């Protein structure tokens, strides 16, 4: 029987962060706009995606602040956590802006808090982006890669830390126009974990 060198496991292992309720069963993990057959009964990404393709169900559209529960990997400690996102805005929404924030759970360890002040959003966004300037529309889209969520995430021992996941808030300057060309194209969460033996 061959032996294996487990010393490499001391380094960070990449893991895809999962949005609560979103089941990736297609050929791509990036496209949230065509998730009709890949959602459970109440996925957190539902308000952002609107009505799924090929689905008769009319789903809610985004609000000003949208709280998504992101699941932690089962093992290890988070060493890196980045977000990539892209959304196509409605033609009349050229002044829409977007910020991300790390929210928190209510006392039941499961329900995401949904109401956040602009001050809270700005403080969290400053940790993530290094500025309070929001993401803006360029050529009809809002997009960004490698937004570093880790500095804003609660740490082990903090009262806001939960073992199962964290809350990511997708915050707009106002409720987006969810018709016409509107489409939330993708939201990727890249994590790396350490301490796996």
What pLDDT is stored for residue 7 in this prediction? 55
The C-alpha atoms of residue 104 and residue 110 are separated, in whole angstroms, by: 10
Instruction: Name residues whose C-beta falls within 8 Å of residue 70's C-beta, 6 or more positions apart in sequence.
Output: 17, 18, 19, 20, 165, 166, 167, 168, 189
Average pLDDT for runs of 10 along the chain of length 197: 51 76 55 50 68 52 90 81 93 96 86 93 97 96 96 87 88 91 87 76
**CA nearest 21: which of 48, 1, 39?**
39
For the chain, how many structural domains are there in total? 1
The C-alpha atoms of residue 35 and residue 45 are separated, in whole angstroms, by: 10
42 domain residue, yes or no: yes
What pLDDT is stored for residue 49 in this prediction? 74
131 domain residue, yes or no: yes
What pLDDT is stored for residue 57 in this prediction? 52
What pLDDT is stored for residue 122 in this prediction? 97
177 domain residue, yes or no: yes
Instruction: Provide the strand spans (E) within the chain.
Output: 13-19, 65-71, 77-88, 97-102, 135-136, 141-148, 165-172, 183-194
The C-alpha atoms of residue 114 and residue 173 are separated, in whole angstroms, by: 15
3 domain residue, yes or no: no
Q: Which helix (H) or strand (E) holds 121?
A: helix 118-129
What pLDDT is stored for residue 1 in this prediction? 44
26 domain residue, yes or no: yes
1 domain residue, yes or no: no
Strands 13-19, 97-102: pairing kind: unpaired
4 domain residue, yes or no: no
Enclosing domain of residue 37:
11-194
């Amino acid at each position: 029987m061959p032996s294996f060198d487990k010393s490499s496991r001391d380094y960070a292992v990449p893991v895809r962060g999962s949005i609560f309720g979103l089941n990736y069963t297609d050929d791509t993990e990036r496209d949230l706009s065509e998730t009709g057959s890949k959602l459970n009964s109440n996925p957190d990404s539902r308000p952002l995606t609107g009505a799924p393709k090929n689905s008769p169900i009319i789903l809610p559209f985004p609000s000003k602040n949208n709280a998504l529960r992101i699941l932690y990997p089962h093992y290890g400690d988070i060493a890196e956590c980045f977000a990539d996102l892209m959304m196509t805005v409605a033609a009349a929404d050229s002044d829409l802006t977007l910020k991300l924030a790390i929210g928190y759970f209510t006392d039941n360890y499961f329900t995401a808090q949904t109401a956040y002040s602009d001050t809270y959003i700005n403080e969290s966004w400053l940790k993530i982006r290094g500025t309070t300037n929001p993401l803006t529309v360029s050529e009809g889209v809002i997009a960004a890669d490698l937004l570093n969520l880790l500095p804003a995430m609660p740490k082990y021992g903090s009262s806001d830390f939960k073992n199962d996941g964290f809350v990511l808030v997708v915050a707009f300057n106002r409720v987006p126009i969810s018709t016409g060309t509107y489409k939330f194209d993708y939201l990727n969460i890249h994590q790396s974990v350490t301490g796996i033996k």
